């Protein structure tokens, strides 16, 4: 084989490895358009798993990152941008069992994953509906949870 052909093959191989490497690196920080809210908290979930449209909320509804993502004090993470690493909700809101009956403080209630998710989503949707005098943003179980 000629030296020129070997050089072309070697350069093509290097380019392919570089392109594949960039794809792998960027895949770790890419945000999916639709996020299926499925994790260990929902192993025995009675309703269908919510499919959250991240793209729709950011692009169409102009929701800022801090409207969902917050720090340990509940303060919005306003400096986030697409591709930044963020914790999954369940890392902090880690209780997955049913919330006990009776009165709990807001902080104790939000330790339960499903309570934190519902509080965040429903609260935002209710505020949106009130502000815009509409019922467009879903606030009931069946509007977000598909039938199983």
Q: For 77-136, how does the pLDDT look when each residue is reduced to its tens digit (9 = 90+)?
A: 999 987 888 888 999 999 988 889 999 999 999 999 989 999 999 999 999 999 999 999
Q: Which domain holds residue 45?
A: 31-144
Confidence of residue 29 (pLDDT cuts 50, 70, 90): low
Phi-psi region of 56 (alpha: psi -120 to 50; beta: other; left: phi over 0): alpha
Confidence of residue 22 (pLDDT cuts 50, 70, 90): very low
Within 8 A by CB and 6+ apart from 15, the residues are none
CATH value at residue 127: 3.90.10.10
Domain match, 96 and 137 both: yes
Domain match, 104 and 71 both: yes
Within 8 A by CB and 6+ apart from 93, the residues are 110, 111, 112, 113, 115, 116, 117
Within 8 A by CB and 6+ apart from 109, the residues are 99, 115, 119
Domain match, 103 and 115 both: yes
Domain match, 24 and 96 both: no
Domain match, 82 and 117 both: yes
What's the confidence (pLDDT) of residue 27? 42
pTM over 0.75: no
Domain match, 54 and 110 both: yes
Q: How many domains does the chain have?
A: 2
Domain match, 97 and 124 both: yes
């Amino acid at each position: 084989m000629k030296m020129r052909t070997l050089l072309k093959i070697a350069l093509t191989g290097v380019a392919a490895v570089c392109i594949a490497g960039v794809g792998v690196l960027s895949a770790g920080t890419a945000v999916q358009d639709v996020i299926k809210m499925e994790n260990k908290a929902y192993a025995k979930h009675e309703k269908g798993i919510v499919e959250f449209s991240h793209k729709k909320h950011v692009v169409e509804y102009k929701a800022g990152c801090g409207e969902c993502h917050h720090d340990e004090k509940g303060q919005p993470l306003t400096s986030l941008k697409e591709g930044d690493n963020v914790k999954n909700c369940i890392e902090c809101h880690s209780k997955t069992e049913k919330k006990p009956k009776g009165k709990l403080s807001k902080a104790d209630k939000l330790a339960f994953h499903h309570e934190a998710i519902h509080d965040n989503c429903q609260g935002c949707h209710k505020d949106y509906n009130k502000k815009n005098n509409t019922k467009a943003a879903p606030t009931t179980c069946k509007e977000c949870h598909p039938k199983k």
